[in-house]
Amino acid sequence: EIVLTQSPGTLSLSPGERATLSCRASQSVSSTYLAWYQQKPGLAPRLLIYGASSRATGIPDRFSGSGSGTDFTLTISRLEPEDFAVYYCQQFGGSPLFGQGTKLEIK
């Protein structure tokens, strides 16, 4: 069974800085089936990235996804105040599976 490990667990940055979030799979994952979600407190998750690098509808271009095989990255080029949230990666290699999440907090 594939395991997704996100790092770091918590990332403390300031608005305007660049954020780099990692998602590592225990075995190779098809890029087609790698997605990223953002969740703010008390709200449902929102799809950000699918197919490892395609932005979902309405997602600002400061969000970008990259990677292949076992290593994937979500990058936020310049943090806005509304970007501080929890981020999850997800893969589908049989049954859908989420990583444990990275909390992006204001420094």
Site residues, other proteins (CB under 8 A) = 32-33, 35, 37, 39, 43-47, 50, 56, 88, 90, 92, 95-101
Residues 6+ apart with CB under 8 A from 106: 12, 13, 14, 15, 81, 84
From 106, 73, 69, 68, select the one nearest 89 (Cα to Cα): 73
> Is there a contact between 73 and 22 (Cβ–Cβ < 8 Å)?
yes
Shortest distance (Å) from residue 12 CB to other proteins: 20
Residue whose CB is less far from other proteins, 17 or 54: 54
Shortest distance (Å) from residue 15 CB to other proteins: 26
Residue whose CB is less far from other proteins, 12 or 32: 32
Shortest distance (Å) from residue 47 CB to other proteins: 6
Shortest distance (Å) from residue 35 CB to other proteins: 4
Local structure of residue 53 (DSSP, 8 states): T
Local structure of residue 77 (DSSP, 8 states): S
Q: Please tell me whether the peptide bond between 8 and the residue prior to it is cis, using omega within 30 degrees of 0.
A: yes
